[in-house]
């Protein structure tokens, strides 16, 4: 889905460069991120939250995406 959104954004920007919009997501609330990191650590997962890319890479290193029956 993300790749499809990116492809459409590039196409719109190439056709309408003066009228296209860029959507920027705000950073996560630090309190919520800290709580997530704490809970993840309790179940044995270390996450690098220094950037969005490093957080994504941390998720990608999880060997099995089905954890704790969720």
Going from the C-alpha of 70 to that of each of 4, 38, 61, the distances in angstroms are 27, 18, 18
Q: Residue 51: give the domain boundaries.
A: 2-60
* Distance of alpha carbon 41 from alpha carbon 44, whole angstroms: 5
Residue 70 lies in a domain: no
pLDDT in tens, 10-64: 888 898 888 877 677 788 899 999 999 999 999 999 999 998 889 999 998 888 7
Residue 8 lies in a domain: yes
Residue 9 lies in a domain: yes
Confidence of residue 3 (pLDDT cuts 50, 70, 90): confident
Question: What pLDDT was estimated at residue 65?
Answer: 63
Give the total number of structural domains in the chain.
1
């Amino acid at each position: 889905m993300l790749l499809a959104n990116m492809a459409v954004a590039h196409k719109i920007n190439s056709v309408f460069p003066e009228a296209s919009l860029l959507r920027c997501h705000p950073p996560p609330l630090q309190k919520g991120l800290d709580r997530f990191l704490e809970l993840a650590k309790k179940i044995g997962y270390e996450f690098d939250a220094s950037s969005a890319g490093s957080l994504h890479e941390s998720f990608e290193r999880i060997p099995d995406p089905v954890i704790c029956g969720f």
